[in-house]
Structure 1
Amino acid sequence: MKKISKGILTLALTTTMLAGCASKPSEPSTPGGNSTPAADGVIKIAVAGPMTGDNAEYGKGFANAAKLMVDEWNANGGVLGKKIELVTFDDKNSGEEAASIAQKIVSDKDIIGVIGHFASGVCMAAAPTYQENKVIEISPSASHPDYSGIGDYIFRNNTVINVEAAAGLDIAINDLGKKNIGIISIKTDWGTSTAAIVKDLVADKAGTGAKVVAHEEVMEGSDDYSPAITKLNAAGADVVICVGMYNLVAPVAKQYKQVNPNIEIVGFSNSYSQQLLTLGGSAVEGVRFPVIFFSESTDPKVKTYVDNYKNAYGSVPSALTSQAYDSVGMLLEAVKAAGTTDHAKVRDALAAIKYPGVTGNTVFNEKRDVQKEFVKVMIKDGKFEAVK
């Protein structure tokens, strides 16, 4: 299995999901109000993400993975002799909604930490409230470079976007041997900033002959990308970097290959989903991307996790879903190591953790960001396959 080594740090503001609604909050929050231990008998973990709307698959995946991990711990007695409960919130992938939810979360003294939110911008809208009230936030998906800098209670279990963008370009330039790079990106904060990062990285590789021949921004969720595709094709793109999720990559692949059957397409790990295969069909054959988690891994730990997830939910877990699973595990291990639910002590234990999860060995750096290795994956014969 061919791996890409760790690299540059990045950014990215996209998505998670869950299902459910919050329990009624207790008293109003006060700065630092959650620094005391949780009540006897129960420890709560909040999961916050888009449970409804276009990005609901991500939020629900977060919630499913969190429940799977919590069930495993509860089956073994919970943590510190207490039962673990999940409380889920639908932020609709909205910064305004997330800011409101954050106030509800910090008012519940039994909540030790938050897994979420999904998009970087949404995470950054809620994070100041968590930081002020000393509630740990671990986002399985935020990639914006500035996210974890909001404060020392803010953690990222996802690679910064610059690192992933560099990994994608390595596939395009070195694996596929392409030089004329087209970019199609969704018109969101994350899409715009990530496309800019890709351009800067290509400019740094000018000595290789690689260049961006065209860049087209499109509305997320559009059905017709033909105007953008026509411009990319006319500019002579021989590989297209899709800065978006599966709901961009699948239709772009379908429509582009009607114009140019030989076009190569490289995506980001947030497009690594069964939905990409379902929506794209034969058109996504050959699409490649770097991922941290590969569900077809032969690692026994990964195989057991994937089997358990499939048995519970009837689908294969995505990379971001799996990072949510590990995020819950890390938070609970930190509580166990601290020997208390005191937020400051749990935070310190989490910052120092070395966690052998299904998404690799996780260690946080001084910025509370993780650095992991990528696996290069492509779609072949209707399945995801690691590039040897």
Structure 2
Amino acid sequence: MSRKNETPVLVLSLLITLGLIGGVAWWFTRGLFSGQNGAQSNSSLNSQTGNGQASFTDRSSTGTRVLNPQSAAAEKLAGAQAMANRNYTQAVTDFEAALQTNRNDPEALIYLNNARIGDQKAYTIAVSVPMATSTNPALEILRGVAQAQTQMNQTGGMGGIPLKVMIVSDDNNPTVARQVADALVKETEVLGVIGHFGSEATLAAAPIYEQGKLVMVSPTSTSVQISNAGNFVFRTVPSDRFTATALSRHLLNNLGKQNAAIYYNSASDYSRSLKDEFATALTSDGGQVVAEFDLNNSGFNALDTVKQASQQGAEALVLAANTATLDAALQVIAVNRRTLPLLGGDSIYNPKTLQVGGENAVDMVVAVPWVLLSNPQSEFAQTAKTLWGGDVNWRTAMAYDATQVLATAIGASPDRTGVQQNLASPDFSLAGATGTVRFLPSGDRNQAMQLVVVKPGERSGYGYDFVPLP
């Protein structure tokens, strides 16, 4: 069979594989909650996401309900019930048992930390994540928060006062994010917010935090529009401008190519931001974007777009997909079959890329804010491995730094105005997991991105790994 005839079969196989993965995940999630009763488990959010029907009480928890639809072990549910009954001693026992069953559960660790606090005085922050709709990225963020909270409270907290964490499930939906922000502003004990996940949700919520004078620190939202979101908006992750610069210079200086085709999602602020910033950076450096393809187009055909890109003189393909269009980006990887060099933004840094992309993803270069293998012996990396039993990624590290940032500011001035003033001060500096954290007047972090490349390996368990580019 010729390569030309193999390609449609390859695309069909990829679509079937993605469908099977989604089907198994659906079955698994349904199976976890079949036959369960009680208020501790928020499986009902799965049928209410995207329309804001679930109340803030249903979406938020400091331990009295389980928000993760994929983790509702009996011990964890028992711990939530004990927390609801204010039986904190029993809750500690139950959450410890849950972590013995699954130590890689940051929600359980956060609730355990909160149970240990009980009714004593604590400083409270919230973390808003897409628990029901993008569970894996949500857990990655929560691992960073949980690790920072654990270390903070084990070392005496902030002047002897521990850190309590409220988890909120926002579906990564702008409408829900606005509702969450409004509710958090009214929760007067909340002194700062970590979130949101996607740039669309962060941009939607930002004006409400600004008006309510409640600091938000995003560990993952990279759109350049966030730079103008207000005085109470910060982020520990560098903006898309840094990603675009890193990818453009690699294309020109390392690969010796000038012409690129770019894939993006027109419905995503993050994806459009990265596309525009890359086009600007490449043009400024002497190259050009010769074609643009919308992954969100209802008639999108990966094979046709790769052919068009080649016909228009593209020497490389740039994947500026967001999480929602990762599957479409994986189709591009498959049909390209390593013919043209591949570059990707941070959303491509996903285990699914290694699992589904496989051999076709080898040598693809992806820009990320932080990579564990650049310093695997660091205190943060070693503690993370002990806590979670494996490697963590940049979302965990950035969330860890966001938690440390808020805790440091709260420790200096435990009120909302004081937190903002501390972070906005030109003297603010924190030695974080990802390097020194300082904020520009815009609330942005001034830090270069790192490049990783897909190579055969065994760390991920899929036969391929993201490793630092030599």
Runs of at least 4 residues of structure 1 off by over 6 A?
A: 220-223
Give the deviation of 1:317 after TM superposition. 2.0
Distance of aligned partners of 1:293 and 1:323 in 2 relative to their CA distance in 1, 3 Å threshold: same
- Which letter does structure 2 place at the counterpart of 1:271? I
Is 1:43–2:123 an aligned residue pair?
A: yes
* Aligned pairs for 1:86-97 within 5 A: 86-97=165-176
Give the deviation of 1:40 after TM superposition. 6.7
Q: What is the CA–CA distance in structure 2 between the aligned matches of 1:280 and 1:104, rounded to whole Å?
A: 40
**Residue in 1 aligned with 2:452?**
377
- Which letter does structure 1 place at the counterpart of 2:130? P
Which of 242, 255, 270 pairs up with 1:163?
242
Give the deviation of 1:152 after TM superposition. 1.5
Which of 326, 341, 344 pairs up with 2:414?
341
CA displacement 1:114-173 (0-9 Å, x = unmatched): 000011121111112211222110011222233243321111212121221111111111
- Which letter does structure 2 place at the counterpart of 1:292? P
Do the aligned partners of 1:269 and 1:319 also contact (CA within 8 Å) in 2?
Answer: no
Q: What is the CA–CA distance in structure 2 between the aligned matches of 1:46 and 1:284, rounded to whole Å?
A: 37
User: Structure 1-normalised TM-score?
Assistant: 0.82
Do the aligned partners of 1:21 and 1:87 also contact (CA within 8 Å) in 2?
Answer: no
Q: Which moved more, 1:182-191 or 1:285-294?
A: 182-191
Do the aligned partners of 1:251 and 1:279 also contact (CA within 8 Å) in 2?
Answer: no
Q: What is the CA–CA distance in structure 1 between the aligned matches of 2:357 and 2:389, rounded to whole Å?
A: 20
Count of residues in correspondence between the two structures: 344
Which of 346, 357, 372 pairs up with 2:432?
357
Q: Secondary structure at the match of 1:47?
A: strand
CA displacement 1:204-223 (0-9 Å, x = unmatched): 233xxx22221111128999
CA displacement 1:90-120 (0-9 Å, x = unmatched): 1111110001111221121221100000111
Do the aligned partners of 1:51 and 1:92 also contact (CA within 8 Å) in 2?
Answer: yes
Q: What is the CA–CA distance in structure 1 between the aligned matches of 2:443 and 2:272, rounded to whole Å?
A: 25
Q: Which moved more, 1:116-125 or 1:229-238?
A: 229-238
Distance of aligned partners of 1:239 and 1:245 in 2 relative to their CA distance in 1, 3 Å threshold: same
* Aligned pairs for 1:213-362 within 5 A: 213-219=290-296, 225-245=302-322, 247-248=326-327, 249-257=329-337, 261-298=338-375, 300-301=377-378, 304-336=379-411, 338=412, 340-352=413-425, 353-362=428-437
Is 1:203–2:283 an aligned residue pair?
A: yes
* Aligned pairs for 1:134-213 within 5 A: 134-188=213-267, 189-206=269-286, 210-213=287-290
Do the aligned partners of 1:50 and 1:56 also contact (CA within 8 Å) in 2?
Answer: yes
Q: Which moved more, 1:345-354 or 1:163-172?
A: 345-354
Give the deviation of 1:349 after TM superposition. 1.8
Which of 99, 116, 122 pairs up with 2:195?
116
**Residue in 2 aligned with 1:105?**
184
Q: Secondary structure at the match of 2:374?
A: coil
- Which letter does structure 1 place at the counterpart of 2:190? I
Give the deviation of 1:299 after TM superposition. 5.7
Q: What is the CA–CA distance in structure 2 between the aligned matches of 1:220 and 1:135, rounded to whole Å?
A: 37
- Which letter does structure 1 place at the counterpart of 2:183? K
Q: What is the CA–CA distance in structure 1 between the aligned matches of 2:125 and 2:199, rounded to whole Å?
A: 20
* Aligned pairs for 1:51-90 within 5 A: 51-53=131-133, 55-90=134-169
- Which letter does structure 2 place at the counterpart of 1:42? A
Higher strand share: 1
Do the aligned partners of 1:272 and 1:319 also contact (CA within 8 Å) in 2?
Answer: no
CA displacement 1:19-70 (0-9 Å, x = unmatched): x94149xxxxxxxxxxxxxx970111111121122x3322221122111110
Q: Secondary structure at the match of 1:296?
A: helix
Give the deviation of 1:276 after TM superposition. 2.1
Q: Which has the higher contact order (CA 8 A, sep 6+)?
A: 1
Tell me the percent identity.
Answer: 23
Q: What is the CA–CA distance in structure 2 between the aligned matches of 1:220 and 1:286, rounded to whole Å?
A: 27
Do the aligned partners of 2:242 and 2:449 also contact (CA within 8 Å) in 1?
Answer: no
Give the deviation of 1:176 after TM superposition. 0.9
Q: What is the CA–CA distance in structure 2 between the aligned matches of 1:74 and 1:169, rounded to whole Å?
A: 43
Larger C-alpha radius of gyration, 1 or 2?
Answer: 2
RMSD, matched Cα = 2.4
Gaps of 5+ in 2: 1-57, 63-118, 457-463
Gaps of 5+ in 1: 1-19, 25-38
Do the aligned partners of 2:210 and 2:230 also contact (CA within 8 Å) in 1?
Answer: yes
Q: Secondary structure at the match of 1:146?
A: helix
Give the deviation of 1:383 after TM superposition. 2.2
Q: What is the CA–CA distance in structure 2 between the aligned matches of 1:220 and 1:71, rounded to whole Å?
A: 44
Q: Which moved more, 1:233-242 or 1:91-100?
A: 233-242
Q: What is the CA–CA distance in structure 2 between the aligned matches of 1:222 and 1:49, rounded to whole Å?
A: 31
Q: What is the CA–CA distance in structure 2 between the aligned matches of 1:167 and 1:355, rounded to whole Å?
A: 24
Do the aligned partners of 1:270 and 1:319 also contact (CA within 8 Å) in 2?
Answer: no
Higher helix share: 2
Do the aligned partners of 2:249 and 2:285 also contact (CA within 8 Å) in 1?
Answer: no
Q: What is the CA–CA distance in structure 1 between the aligned matches of 2:322 and 2:342, rounded to whole Å?
A: 13
User: Structure 2-normalised TM-score?
Assistant: 0.68
